[in-house]
Chain A
Amino acid sequence: MTILITHLFLQQYWWIIVSLLASLLVFLMFVQGGQSFIFSLPENDNQKTLIVNAMGRKWEFTFTTLVTFGGAFFASFPLFYATSFGGAYWVWIAILFSFIIQAVAYEFRSKPDNILGKKTFDIFLFINGSLGPLLIGTAVATFFTGAMFTLNNENQVHWETKWYGLEALLDIRNIALGLAVLFLARVNGLLYFVNTIDDESLRKRSVKRVTWNAIPFLVSFLFFIVAILLSDGLVVDPATGIVSIEKYRYFHTFLRMPFVLIIFLIGVITVLYGIGVTIIKGGIKGIWCSGSGTVITVFALFMIAGISGNPFYPSLFDLQSSLTITNASSSQFTLKTMMFVSFMIPFILGYIWYAWKAINNTKMTEAEMNSEDHKY
């Protein structure tokens, strides 16, 4: 079978790659979720050291995935990069701020002569852990709910409110997805503690909190999904490129793409299974079910946003300015060139897996922390 490498094929291919990176990012935000428990979960300093180091050995993966997600979006859909980053300025700046303070917090927190004090860096970790997922979830929700921008005939963006992105916080659906991502990150963080740390007291406390974080996750996630399915959506006429409004557009999209609906449901069920198996049976491998379920669910949502022929970044101010994977993408040549680079991704995932296993081959214990030279 010959695959015709058309521009549309490459646009869809790169949307899939970007979606995959976004999915992995949401899963890897278990690091942020774990950080949000820095003050509430541990009973003593030893336990705090354990959870900080459990997260600290993985923070770079999340950070790198975020940077690569940004880079891949820039390269494959530069008009989104220019429009959203240059318009929704304050949302992205707030996200960036929450990540700057994380990057240094692990390395600096326990070093002597740290002028800001350990507590300050722990607060940094807490802020990043709470605000990061909340804001990223809120920003991603605008892929469905839209934003207030127009583009001129040279594709230069003009933001139509003086809030430069902060107006997204006024839409309850955006907040709902933000909360869903936050509580999912917290659940995954807890499941990761259960899987990685050998401390019975910490394990019990983590399992107990899984329930209390899974409930708000489910409520906010279901609210977002139902609200989106019942909302109007934008649709692009493939022949003319004209954008119009259609009632229940996302509901119709799910029905038109049953395969995506099925993987979406599989993803949600897998997340719930990972949570359930930990709460009910006391299993320690829930993170792998919940994590893979997270990747599948987020991936399906991105498919609905971009591959379906819907604009993936609707303009609420001027429908015709809305961004689709066809009008926002790079040229065929650039996408094709980068496709060859993307063939390295399985190899990269392979070495990440190998290195991850090498470091996580035994559970973290208090004894290990006491003997570890490089600890946070």
Chain B
Amino acid sequence: MIENVDLSVVDWSRAQFALTAIYHWLFVPLTLGLSFILAIMETIYVRTGNEEWKRITRFWMTLFGINFAIGVATGIILEFEFGTNWSNYSWFVGDIFGAPLAVEGILAFFLESTFVAVMFFGWNKVSKKFHLVSTWLVAIGANLSALWILVANGWMQNPVGMTFNPEAARNEMVSFWAVLFNQVAVDKFLHTISSGFLLASMFVLSISCWFLLKKREALLAKRSILVAGIFGLLSSLMVAYTGDESARTIAKVQPVKFGAMEALYEGKDNAGLIAIGLLKDSDNSIGKTKEKEFIFKIEIPGLLSVLTGGNRDAYVPGIRDHVLGNQEKEILSVMEKREKGIFARNVLTDYQRADLFKDKEQVANIKEVFRSKEFNDEYFRYFGYATINSPEEVIPNVPIAFYSFHLMVILGFSFIMLFALSIHLLFKGTIEKNRWFLWIAFFALPLPYVASELGWILVEMGRQPWIIQDLMTVTKGVSNITSGSVITTFILFAVLFTVLLVSEISIMVKQIKIGPKH
């Protein structure tokens, strides 16, 4: 391994990736959801022949185009930053991680980019049906591209379907299906796309309510609310369901992250689910008394045990169990895992020495060891712990994980009510009269963005210190470049993205104010 890693390179590389990801994620969910809303609206137009639906579709399509371009711009950076800033990681996992990215490019990006041109420019050039098919293909392509990058991300959270090759010093894929149907990837894909659908529905609902507040474009607004309300309600229910599934999976494969999400320091039977809580000076040190964990909390007794273990008596391990170990519950401590990780690393060193001295018999023997199930289950799965120096290092930032998770959940449930109410008022025919609702829906526009970003903050901050769960820390994955280079590019990206974001919002607001063309 490259020793003496400059920690400021690690921090700035993390900051740069986080910056790019956060900006990218401001635009992608809208693309994921609005593409389907456009397809639904255009389908209604083609089936009914009603020109007003065409006008509605084209209005939202203009906004889609503005958002789409900037999403593409930020997306390319993310892909290449794996190489520029995380080159050691890229080699360690490239055999697995690269494949979904290549499939994404070949199967999804071309579909999206080819038919988006037909969607924008083809209204007067191709038949109605061809245009409609193109719009649907854009939606499918956009969401397919989300699938593959989320498969890659899911693998980082829960590495499966691979074996370590000591000769190349990297992980290699042995089962594509295990990588594709990784439970984390499946949960993540469904939760992410449904949250994109929700966000786009809120976007359409909020802007439509603004039109109603301004007493403009009433027909467009109501029809848009009809589509967005129903699509949004279904999506928000799906978000709740898939979010619950995701949390259960996290409890199994990333138990420390789960403990941080719930701020559960001490494991317990009959563990309650914290609905709302305010943490009291919680930090990463272990040994603090549990009474100091919360200033205030509203807890649903026993629910956490029921959700994770199936019954109220189920024991839910806390952060302390995973850090210091719990013999009774057969949970290894960090230092025990570290011993096993060091053992695995020593076997690798033995391999490298044997290879250097051309000891073919020893090389063949150690290769067999790396292929054996026992070695992988007992030792190699803790490979990354060899570089952990103190037990507390494996604890992510608890307040960030706790608050981002709980705020996201609270917002998620409020969206269900908002969409349900929008449909109720629309069908009752009183939506225009209930101006309080129009104002609430209008001001709710940024909330799905907040919830969506909080979700990613939880996922990625909660994963720390791992870049690949239990196998590699972020410190070991970084490129061997100077912090000055990364600081410079961080500033350049920050300025450029911010300028482009401001420009995008300004253009978007103007287009909304102009409204649909007559």
Contact = CB atoms under 8 A, between A and B. Distances in A.
Contacts of B1: 154, 156
Interface string B490-518: 00100010011011101101110010010
B106 A158 contact: no
Interface string B91-114: 100111111011111110111111
Nearest to B71: A103
Residue among B58, B109, B115 with max Cβ neighbours from chain A (10 Å): B109
- Prevailing SS type, chain A contact patch: helix
B123 A338 contact: no
A121 B89 CA distance: 36
A96 B481 CA distance: 18
B502 A81 contact: no
A372 B62 CA distance: 13
A317 interface: no
B95 A78 contact: yes
Q: Which of A71, A116, A152, A153 has the largest number of chain B CB atoms within 10 A?
A: A71
A209 interface: no
Given A78-B91, A338-B103, A108 B77 contact: no
13 contacts: A70-B83, A71-B79, A71-B102, A74-B79, A103-B72, A115-B503, A156-B1, A352-B110, A359-B117, A359-B122, A361-B125, A372-B121, A374-B123
A228 interface: no
Contacts, number: 268
B502 A74 contact: no
Contacts of A157: 87-88, 479-480
Contacts of A158: 2, 480
Contacts of B126: 358-359
Contact of B90 (A69, A82, A355, A362): A82
A354 to B, nearest CB: 9
A367 interface: no
Interface stretch (A186-194, A214-222, A280-288, A326-334): A326-334
A373 B123 contact: yes
B507 A341 contact: no
Contacts of A99: 73, 76
Interface residues of A, number: 77
Interface in A330-376: 330-331, 333-334, 337-338, 341-342, 344-345, 348, 351-352, 355, 358-359, 361-362, 372-374
A359 B121 contact: yes
Contacts of A89: 84, 479, 481, 485
B122 A358 contact: yes
A244 interface: no
Contacts of B312: none
A128 to B, nearest CB: 11
Given A96-B80, A108-B503, A341 B102 contact: yes
Given A70-B80, A331-B95, A337-B173, A108 B125 contact: no
Interface stretch (B163-171, B317-325, B431-439, B444-452): B163-171
Interface in A142-194: 152-159, 162, 164
Contacts of A345: 106
A76 to B, nearest CB: 7
B132 to A, nearest CB: 14
Closest 8 CB pairs of A and B: A86-B87, A78-B94, A85-B83, A68-B105, A75-B98, A113-B510, A103-B73, A75-B102
Q: Which of B86, B489, B507 gathers the greatest number of chain A CB atoms within 10 Å?
A: B507
Interface residues of B, number: 88
B354 interface: no
A374 B65 contact: yes
A79 B502 contact: no
Interface in B146-197: 165, 168-170, 172-174, 176
B365 interface: no
Contacts of A333: 172-174
A81 B105 contact: no
Contacts of A352: 110, 114
Contact of B110 (A64, A100, A374): A64
A262 B135 CA distance: 44
Contact of B169 (A66, A104, A154, A351): A154
A67 B482 CA distance: 26
Interface in B46-82: 58, 61-62, 65-66, 68-70, 72-77, 79-80, 82
A93 interface: yes
Given A67-B79, A114-B503, A164-B481, 10 more contacts: A68-B102, A71-B106, A74-B102, A79-B94, A82-B94, A92-B84, A103-B73, A115-B503, A341-B106, A358-B125
B413 interface: no
A247 interface: no
B492 A82 contact: no
B105 A63 contact: no
B352 interface: yes
Nearest to B123: A373
A83 interface: yes
Contact of A86 (B84, B96, B170): B84
Contacts of A341: 102-103, 106-107
